Amino acid sequence: MSYGKPKKIPRPVSDFTEFNLNNPPKPDDDFTSGAVFLTDKPKGWSSFRVVGLIRKLTGIKRTGHAGTLDPMATGLLIVCTGKATKSISLIQDERKTYIAEIQLGAATESYDAETGFTATSDFSHVSLDNIRSVFEESFQGNIEQFPPMYSALQHKGERLYRLARQGIEVERKAREVCIYDTEILNFDQQAGKISVSITCSKGTYIRTIAHDLGQKIGTHGYLTALRRTASGAYSVERALTAEQLITNFNMHGKIDLS
């Protein structure tokens, strides 16, 4: 009886050259044999735009990222080239840490600041103790989340966010994710603004946490800013900005980046 070929185990990410602030890339480096770039994604850029930039700078077509960030979000985006792309799943499986800015008193279709308000409500009753209690009771350990309509998940081959933009809503199944740690960094009670650090498993929607938090605390909430600060052992503190990448590769302006 044949059971097919055994599944290949990806090589450890540590096998590949890591490019970061302490080890910036140079045009003559070997990117084909496998490279891992720690980048700090700018606000307004899609994750694929960062991938496209590195693909153009390195000349390596086989390039991909290890975990999407929404255009509104900033922070650590890990991009792999060459043979390192086979190990992307190892990075994706690691826990992630984010700093989220949440505004109470309003809800939006996308659960973030990218779309208009769908509801507003009073938040004057909310206290820091209320927020801490809700995080401890509802956002710790294994929890179930319903993905937002404004997401890249697919329904019958169509991205959910494309359906959402047409005013179409489809049923989504709850998914189990894990919240390892939360820390309230700041709460401006008068303005209804919360800053919180969240360490979670892959597949966690921080926008959904903002939305659900608002409901559980007796008001509304949406995400106004998001920054990924860590992915596994990788930290945004060692990440290269887009400007630094361009400068290292294209210091003489010879690469057409248009």
What long-range pairs does 3-7 form, CB within 8 A, spacing at least 24? none
**Alpha-carbon torsion (176, 109, 206, 214), positive or negative:** negative
Domain with residue 116: its CATH number is: 3.30.2350.10
Q: Is residue 5 part of a domain?
A: no
Q: Note the Cα 243 to chain centre separation in Å.
A: 20
Confidence of residue 1 (pLDDT cuts 50, 70, 90): very low
- Based on the domain organization, do 130 and 73 belong to the same domain? no
- Summarised one tens digit per residue, pLDDT across range 124-156 is 999 999 999 999 999 999 999 987 766 666 656
Residue 146's pLDDT is what? 84
Average pLDDT over residues 195-199: 98
User: pLDDT tens digits, residue range 205-254?
Assistant: 999 999 999 999 999 999 999 999 999 999 999 999 999 999 988 765 65
pLDDT score for 50: 97
User: What is the per-residue pLDDT for 258?
Assistant: 56
Q: Cα(72)–Cα(43) distance, rounded to whole angstroms?
A: 5
- Please confirm, yes or no, whether 70 is among the known catalytic residues: yes
Please write the tens of the pLDDT for every residue from 7-64: 678 888 988 999 999 999 998 899 999 999 999 999 999 999 999 999 999 999 999 9
Q: Can you give the pLDDT at residue 99? A: 98
Answer yes or no: do 206 and 223 share one domain. yes
Residue 114 shares a structural domain with residue 192: yes
pLDDT at 169 exceeding the cut of 60? yes
pLDDT score, position 173: 82
Catalytic residue among 70, 112, 129, 212: 70
Which is nearest to 138 in space by CA: 73, 198, 195? 198
User: Do 113 and 216 belong together in one domain?
Assistant: yes
Whether 114 is covered by a domain: the verdict is yes
- Containing structural domain, residue 110: 96-231
**What is the average pLDDT across 60-78?**
95
pLDDT score of 6: 60
Give the pLDDT confidence score for residue 22 in this predicted structure.
Answer: 96
Where residue 95 falls among pLDDT bands split at 50, 70, 90?
very high
Q: Are residues 210 and 130 in the same domain?
A: yes
